[in-house]
Amino acid sequence: MSPHTLSYVRRADVVFTAVTEENKDQSKVTLLKEVIARGGNIVWFPLEDEYDVLIRFVGPFFGFVAVMHWIGDTSEIPKGSDVVQWSLR
């Protein structure tokens, strides 16, 4: 959970994260508990601590999969170069 996203996470209705209650950074754990306490939802995916891997792959991959699963039918999501135009809508 990037420090740059924390203000957005505080307001989010749904948070996709690998951070669990066992995380070493208690500020992240507290933030997620605050989101849950106000009725927000947390969607967890692996791998929480991927810091010993040169290229962090597992976490971002499963994060993407979790989002795709949560939104359901992805037939509306464009492929290839159309992605940029779609994301600007």
The pLDDT of residue 36 is 92
Q: What angle do CA 74, 18, 14 make, to 5 degrees?
A: 55
Range of the domain at 41: 3-87
Domain count, the chain: 1
Q: Give the largest CA-CA distance in the chain.
A: 40
User: What is the SS3 assignment for 27?
Assistant: helix
pLDDT score of 72: 73
Residue 17 pLDDT: 87
Task: Give the distance from CA 29 to its chain's centroid.
Answer: 14
Query: Does residue 1 contact residue 9 with C-beta atoms inside 8 Å?
Result: yes
25: number of Cβ within 10 Å: 10
Which has the higher per-residue pLDDT, 23 or 47? 23
What's this model's pTM, rounded to 2 decimal places?
0.62
Q: How far is CA 5 from the centre of its chain?
A: 10
Express each pLDDT in 36-79 by its tens digit: 998 998 888 877 766 666 566 677 777 777 777 777 755 565 55
